[in-house]
Structure 1
Amino acid sequence: MCDDMGFSDLGSYGGEIKTPNIDVLATQGIRFSQFKNTGRCCPSRAALLTGRNQFAAEMGWMTAVDEHREAYRGQLSATIPTIAEILKDNNYYTYLSGKWHLTLDDSYKLGAVKPNGSWPFERGFNESYAGLPGGGSYYKVNGLVKNETVIKDFPANYYYTDAITENAVGFIKKHNTEKPMFLYLAHYAPHRPLEAPKDRIDKCRERYQVGYDVLRAQRYENLKKKGLISTLEGLPIHEREYHNKRPSWVSLPKKKKEEWITEMATYAAMIEIMDDGIGEVIKATKEKGIYENTVFLFLSDNGATKEGGDISQLTADLSNTPYRDYKISTYMGGTSSPLIIHYPEKFAKYKGEIRTDLTHITDILPTCLDIAGIEYPTSFHQKKIPQFEGKSLITVLEKNKLEKRDLFFQHEQSCAIISDNWKLVRGNISEPWELINLTKDSFEQYNVAANFPKKVLELEKKWNIWAKENNVLPIEKRAWSARIKHYNGLNTDKSKIN
């Protein structure tokens, strides 16, 4: 899994960024065009690892604070098993290399860094090289641990993406093949800050001289040719996100153009370095003799982010082509991601196929268990537990059809439901609902709520029932700092996590 990468960044998903290794997995595997995530980092990771929605996993917001509300505890629920715990109990040896971001920030900010029940080695991973926090420098990583040991010293040539690759490859090389293995490779790239070696950035500069308008149009055409988006809709501009003043490339001042070229070249370089590393991982599985029997899944935790200002918003627009809005939002730009599944031994007959079924990040756990032939447990820590919510995608592959279902979304004040090709969505709870007919408008350009008031009420009722059942309500209106300050004020004892 990568971090904050847009829907159309990969070469195999229409982008100009050079990702030959991921593209091989895509063209020799299966691509999904309607795969959805939760719209943000921690919630997506919780849903991925548990097969449950993020609120059931107690990760309804971020790891910044424990709100002492059932769905908002700031770290992964101790009452639901992770995929690593399930596989470990079934004779798998489990590894993590990369971003964790599922433990309360206070566990590594209050002086001595110490495990608190929600570090990777405590949640089913035999071995881990893990960054506990959500972001930071690629050259000196805060909260980096190897199993239980905190890493504080970094060599002069350290670069986090390379280190994640090196540890993942090392795990594969030393693995005892008497046991099957599970590797969760969770890259920070291309999460901000945008940092990459200068020579790699310089290699990417030339292709961005033409500007974002030309490149968005090229990506849009590539997506259509590949069968990844509707061919009936024109390329949307999404002026709304700019308060109807989105600047064209030709109107942008020269200094701003140079800023954007540098930002986009850096962003592309980060993804290309990640792709190099994935190539090394693929090579390691071949040298180990396990490539044909290895299932590779590739996805992003959410869409590209506009964090960073006006130039960053233009970068995210290109990355999320053709979708509306960005990370944190429940519009498609926030919740749409590539999903690639590659399994030479069993899925060769599906090589190159593109599936358009509506799929979700909670589907990853049941898919993996299905492939491994492992039943989901009925209890965890001697207590009965409900089943996962996701659906095995093996059904999509073998029967070419996935059972219809409603998908629900909420993050901060953005809410949505997708039901039978209709989507009810709003960016803020102070705004009225928008109703989108996804059959005709998959890019979310036209609000038809006024034409279908009964459909709005029907979907709003479904969303409200789901929100109540999953302890989503009340929706917190405070901004980041005020939210943390408020809940820290209610929980003054930071010596332990309850």
Structure 2
Amino acid sequence: MHTTSLQKQQLGALLGPLFMIFILLALSLDIAWAKAPGGTVLPPPEPPFKGKIGQTYKDSKPDKIPVIKAPAGAPNILVVLIDDVGYGAWGTFGGQIPTPNLDKLAQGGLRYTQFHTTALCSPTRAALLTGRNHHSAGTGTITETGTAYPGYTGQIPKSTAMISEILRQNGYSTAFFGKNHNVPDWETSVSGPYDRWPGLQGFDHFYGFIGGEANQWAPALYRDHQPVEMQVPKGKEGRYTLNDSLADEAIKYIFQQKSVTPDRPFFIYYAPGATHAPHHVPKDWLDKFKGQFDQGWDKYREDAYQRQLKLGVIPPDTKLTPRPREIPAYDSLTPGQKQVAARLMEAFAAYTAQTDYEVGRVLDAVDQVGQLNNTLVFWIIGDNGASMEGQLYGSFNEMAALGGVQEDPAFILQHLDEIGGPNAYNHYPVGWAWAMNTPFQWGKQIASHLGGVRNPMVITWPDRIKDRGGLRPQFHHVIDIAPTILEAAKLPIPGEVNGVKQKPMEGVSMLYSFDQPSAESARREQYFEMFGNRALYKDGWIAAARHGRLPWTTGTYDFDKDKWELYDLTHDFSEADDLAAKHPDRLKKLQDEFWVQAKKFQVLPLDDRLAERTDPRLRPSLIEGRTQFTYYPGSIRIPESSAPPTKNTSHSITAHIEVPQGGADGVLVAEGGVVGGFSLYIKDGRPVYEYNYFTQARRKVTGSEVLSPGPAAIRMEFRYDGGGIGKGATTTLFVNDKKVGEGRIEVTNWGRFSADETFDVGEDTGSPVSADYASPNRFTGILKKVEIDIKPASVNTADQEKIKSMAVRSRLVVE
């Protein structure tokens, strides 16, 4: 059969549209794939129904409801993030503190010697979980000092979805255990909103605390959105802390998850809050380190440096940087100061050893369920360098030091045996923090220098990593963790999550380094900035400018007077030789590049202000402008920032109760805990008001009469002396308007009572304000309501500025 020219034209006319239809169909299928599970849009669109629908089920055919599954071979992911640790603390990287579980992990995996964080808590955690720089994720500082500038809001935007949400929508089970310091301060109450709590950021389960630090003996815990008390197993009273509880919860989760869904991979974010102050640890751990740090921080640093050289975690030509003049030599301390400093370091070492042990238990559980070989583990030793916020000679109660209250060395010596226990809130001296950052300069908060940002990391994945015990010198940053996880799981980076277009991930995958020990770093440049301390790394060189204020001081400084330094990190691992004078042109290029990156990643405006950034008008507040408050039964765990502002002003507290036949005892209202606070309670039938001033002084007023059965109004009048902040007050107790007691408080707390205790009605959660009772000491009568009336304070301008400045200091320790 012959085809004519006309027939060919007709056939072409017919096939042309068919071909276009085919192309469009193919494109639509490709688009559908892109939006399917594992594609670029999360969640994917509802799948089309592939069955048949008739008039009844008899002439219909059902489809199968799909279950999202992770890609074949996708590993479990375990990210362990330790708090406030420097490069030279853990034994695996040359520290004196033995860490056998990290040693074991490192022997089966890789040690990264040039891994970096942001120099502060909340920012590092935001960067880790989002894969974006901390300013890009709105977390240029801790949430308590955020401002309305885009890079500093303290609110992680929905355009930077967390790795947990991406994995959850791609078939992973997800869980979070430990510290969450990425919820804005004004969103931490029962009123929420919960958008930035773990449950709405991709975590199926959460067990831990919200904020910068926690009392390890009496933590303010949440399970998902609900406050819970830590359950101490019978027989472990006095030797069971949050470290134990977090490991127990994680182990229980691993067992349950693998029992129900053995083929579904998990993502576990395990961030214990250790070893952030307070350095709480059971006595049996503490006793193991007695006398081991009597040599002091100068000698410790020299010894750690030699161990690091021997282990190969620093290059052979690395220099040990000298002690800054701002930090005292250990030999300059008095015998009493040395005794205190040594004991404080023993507590930190014991806390560290306990933490290593508890993480080891979690790893053992992964092994027990047969999943260790297919689990990608990131064990990051520190969200920043070691903390220099413990003051020059250390603290028994860190909140006192942060509140500007000088602790008498005789007082600390008198309570030496309580360090590490439930009555202390101890933190070691600055000198020990400097030693824990061996061989680098400076520490936490100082993002300009490696002591603040270089943290050890170990990665293992036995099914994938074959270079067991290897070292990896590639320059990487915490934003590189999320892209590494996605590449390991064979998942793309989504462009849209939950209807929100995503900012590009700024991290790069580290997966290439698993097989290539000498590969060139995929990360060629990275900026650093925190409180004006700033640096720019590029191709082996780093320009650095430390900006004035020391972590244990306050003040603002002139940015134009900052001195820039220049280091060749390829040949100078520890930043020992400043080459700024030799290479001014190179320094200038890096300085110029810093401003380019600062603009690109929302670092601007640079802001070293402290006092001004505590202005409540810069952030939302649940209490701004209020002077009258009414609380009903069950009102507990109210964050101090959202509680009535009773400090530096007169006020009254009235509890409306009903006393049953036989009497009633317990707490009516309390704020704070063992570190400081107040409590209005009934003991032996008499009303009592107690004020705890940083554990150093306690003042009580006790009612003269036992309460009679029936209704009663218990009122405490707090008449503030005025004339400044932190002044004294006269307190008077009334029962049904009858005066039953009066007393004096010579000095009061002008700032925050604590970093983690709360305001409670009808009980005292957390640690007890008073030594007269054990928490929670719930009221056994009927509590109808508590009313608090604040009398406006008369505070002069100078005192207002001091309140603002010192309030910042009281918050900086909680990152």
TM-score, normalised to structure 2, is: 0.58
Residue type of the partner of 2:215? S
Cα deviation for residue 378 of structure 1 reads 1.5
Aligned to 2:359: 278
Residue type of the partner of 1:132? I
Cα deviation for residue 404 of structure 1 reads 4.8
Aligned to 1:150: 227
- Verify the 8 A CA contact 1:56 1:71 in the aligned structure 2: yes
Aligned to 1:199: 284
Match of residue 475, structure 2, among 348, 355, 358? 358
Pick the structure with more helix per residue. 1
Cα distance in 1 for partners of 2:612, 2:243 equals 33
Cα distance in 1 for partners of 2:368, 2:229 equals 32
Cα distance in 1 for partners of 2:162, 2:562 equals 36
Gaps of 5+ in 2: 1-80, 394-428, 548-558, 625-815
Cα deviation for residue 215 of structure 1 reads 2.1
Match of residue 604, structure 2, among 445, 458, 473? 473
Alignment of 1:401 with 2:520, yes or no, is yes
Match of residue 546, structure 2, among 427, 440, 462? 427
Alignment of 1:340 with 2:471, yes or no, is no
1:361-400 equivalences under 5 Å are: 361-399=478-516, 400=519
SS across alignment from 1:94: strand
SS across alignment from 1:99: strand
Return closer, same or farther for 1:181/1:214 CA change in 2, 3 Å cut-off. Answer: same
Cα deviation for residue 115 of structure 1 reads 4.2
Residue type of the partner of 1:308? G
SS across alignment from 2:291: helix
1:106-125 equivalences under 5 Å are: 106-108=186-188, 112=190, 114-125=192-203
Match of residue 256, structure 2, among 171, 174, 177? 174
Cα deviation for residue 431 of structure 1 reads 1.3
Residue type of the partner of 1:343? W
SS across alignment from 1:292: coil
**What do the CA deviations read for 1:143-169 (whole angstroms, capped 9, x no partner)?**
x21111112566554511111111111
SS across alignment from 1:213: helix
Cα distance in 1 for partners of 2:98, 2:184 equals 36
Return closer, same or farther for 1:352/1:101 CA change in 2, 3 Å cut-off. Answer: same
- Verify the 8 A CA contact 1:364 1:392 in the aligned structure 2: yes
Cα distance in 1 for partners of 2:273, 2:618 equals 32
**What do the CA deviations read for 1:328-377 (whole angstroms, capped 9, x no partner)?**
11110000101100111211x21011011111111111111111111111
Alignment of 1:446 with 2:446, yes or no, is no
Residue type of the partner of 2:617? G
- Verify the 8 A CA contact 2:467 2:515 in the aligned structure 1: no
Aligned to 1:483: 613
- Verify the 8 A CA contact 2:164 2:202 in the aligned structure 1: yes
Cα distance in 2 for partners of 1:275, 1:492 equals 39
- Verify the 8 A CA contact 1:65 1:104 in the aligned structure 2: no
Aligned to 1:84: 164
- Verify the 8 A CA contact 1:241 1:325 in the aligned structure 2: no
Residue type of the partner of 1:171? Y
Match of residue 189, structure 1, among 238, 260, 274? 274
Cα deviation for residue 65 of structure 1 reads 4.4
Aligned to 2:247: 165
Cα deviation for residue 491 of structure 1 reads 4.4
- Verify the 8 A CA contact 1:8 1:14 in the aligned structure 2: yes
Cα distance in 2 for partners of 1:24, 1:266 equals 24
SS across alignment from 2:378: strand
Aligned to 1:23: 103
Gaps of 5+ in 1: none
Aligned to 1:128: 206
Residue type of the partner of 1:151? V
Cα deviation for residue 252 of structure 1 reads 2.8
The structure with the largest alpha-carbon Rg is 2
Moved more, 11-20 or 57-66: 57-66
Cα distance in 2 for partners of 1:221, 1:103 equals 41
Cα distance in 2 for partners of 1:398, 1:210 equals 41
Return closer, same or farther for 1:358/1:194 CA change in 2, 3 Å cut-off. Answer: same
Alignment of 1:414 with 2:533, yes or no, is yes
Return closer, same or farther for 1:452/1:24 CA change in 2, 3 Å cut-off. Answer: same
**What do the CA deviations read for 1:199-223 (whole angstroms, capped 9, x no partner)?**
2112112321233233222211111
Pick the structure with more strand per residue. 2
Cα deviation for residue 460 of structure 1 reads 0.9
Return closer, same or farther for 1:464/1:3 CA change in 2, 3 Å cut-off. Answer: same
Cα distance in 2 for partners of 1:153, 1:169 equals 16
Moved more, 228-237 or 279-288: 228-237
- In the alignment of these two chains, the number of paired residues is 485
Aligned to 2:60: none
- Verify the 8 A CA contact 2:158 2:500 in the aligned structure 1: no
- Verify the 8 A CA contact 2:320 2:440 in the aligned structure 1: no
Cα deviation for residue 297 of structure 1 reads 0.9
Aligned to 1:257: 338
Cα distance in 2 for partners of 1:404, 1:181 equals 28
- Verify the 8 A CA contact 1:10 1:23 in the aligned structure 2: no
Cα deviation for residue 136 of structure 1 reads 3.1
Calculate the aligned-residue CA RMSD, in Å. 1.9
- Verify the 8 A CA contact 1:292 1:343 in the aligned structure 2: yes
Moved more, 67-76 or 323-332: 67-76
Cα deviation for residue 198 of structure 1 reads 2.1
Cα distance in 2 for partners of 1:268, 1:453 equals 43
Match of residue 288, structure 1, among 366, 369, 373? 369
Cα deviation for residue 106 of structure 1 reads 1.6
Match of residue 309, structure 1, among 373, 391, 396? 391
Cα deviation for residue 384 of structure 1 reads 2.8
Cα distance in 2 for partners of 1:102, 1:61 equals 10
Residue type of the partner of 2:349? A
Match of residue 302, structure 2, among 213, 217, 221? 217
Cα deviation for residue 240 of structure 1 reads 4.2
Return closer, same or farther for 1:350/1:113 CA change in 2, 3 Å cut-off. Answer: farther
Aligned to 2:30: none
Aligned to 2:318: 233
Moved more, 259-268 or 69-78: 69-78
TM-score, normalised to structure 1, is: 0.93
- Verify the 8 A CA contact 1:35 1:338 in the aligned structure 2: yes
- Verify the 8 A CA contact 1:37 1:301 in the aligned structure 2: yes
Aligned to 1:329: 446
Return closer, same or farther for 1:18/1:493 CA change in 2, 3 Å cut-off. Answer: closer
Aligned to 2:83: 3
The structure showing larger relative contact order (alpha-carbon pairs under 8 Å, at least 6 residues apart) is 1
Cα deviation for residue 470 of structure 1 reads 1.8
